[in-house]
Amino acid sequence: MVSISKRDTLKAMAALYSLTNETRLKIIELLLQRYRVGMTPSAIAKVLDLSLPTVTKHLEILEEAGLVNYVYTRGGTPSKLYKITDLYLTIQIDLSKFVKAFNRSELERMAANYVQKKMETNLPRNITINDIKSALKTDQDTAYVVYEYVNEKKIDLIVKPIASMILDVLEREDKKSVSIQELKEINADEYWIEIACRHIQNKGIYTYRNKELVRVEIE
């Protein structure tokens, strides 16, 4: 059974949202008919007479909501094989938190505002509900859903902006490497700076080791 607790307000919202679209319901119905074997996106697209990009987008929404999952097919060119996660779904909703999370654009604004405020002093490693409540001067329920959102979107809200700051330091000072100690101007816990360095490393231009980000020299 897929069970979403009252603590997972955003996940509950995602699950409910995923079930409000006719196309997604058709995809779920199709996957229910093939509950044990699953289907590839291209097979779903063919049966429902939809484009592959359309089916892929809807499957991503259903996956984010936890209603479907996939494994890769074996043999030939690997393809995602989607299945229903479970035949039963249980959702508990804390209405006081749910209504706070309903305005997505406001939630995004508040989360970005919190991160910006903390980056003016020092963004802590452990972000807490009470810290968000204090920084934004808001109520407990709002702080809770902002906390959920910050954790859900931490790559976009925290890691990518810090990675941009690090690259700015390298470019501004014309450096081929930079150590964690040299990045003190970035007002964030070392934990976030290291994650940002690893994010940069994944792009393939720099490598991160021994707390130092070093540009890869191409021979």
Q: Flag whether pLDDT at 54 surpasses 80.
A: yes
Q: CA 101, CA 218: separation in Å to the nearest integer?
A: 48
pLDDT mean over 131-150: 94
Q: Are residues 76 and 18 in the same domain?
A: yes
Q: Are residues 109 and 142 in the same domain?
A: yes
Say which range, 5-9, 178-182, 214-218, has the weakest mean pLDDT.
214-218
Of the three residues 152, 180, 195, the one that is the final residue of a domain is: 152
Q: Are residues 101 and 164 in the same domain?
A: no
pTM, entire model: 0.75
Q: Are residues 6 and 87 in the same domain?
A: yes
User: What is the CATH number for 69?
Assistant: 1.10.10.10
Q: Are residues 31 and 81 in the same domain?
A: yes
Q: What percent of the chain has a predicted confidence (pLDDT) above 70?
A: 99
Residue 135's CB: how many other CB atoms inside 10 A? 19
Q: Are residues 125 and 143 in the same domain?
A: yes
Q: Are residues 109 and 86 in the same domain?
A: no
- Top pLDDT among 212 and 1 is at 212
Q: Flag whether pLDDT at 51 surpasses 60.
A: yes
Instruction: State how many domains the chain has.
Output: 3
Band of residue 218 on the pLDDT scale cut at 50, 70, 90: low
Domain housing 162: 156-215
User: What is the CATH number for 169?
Assistant: 1.10.10
Q: Are residues 170 and 147 in the same domain?
A: no
Q: Are residues 145 and 185 in the same domain?
A: no
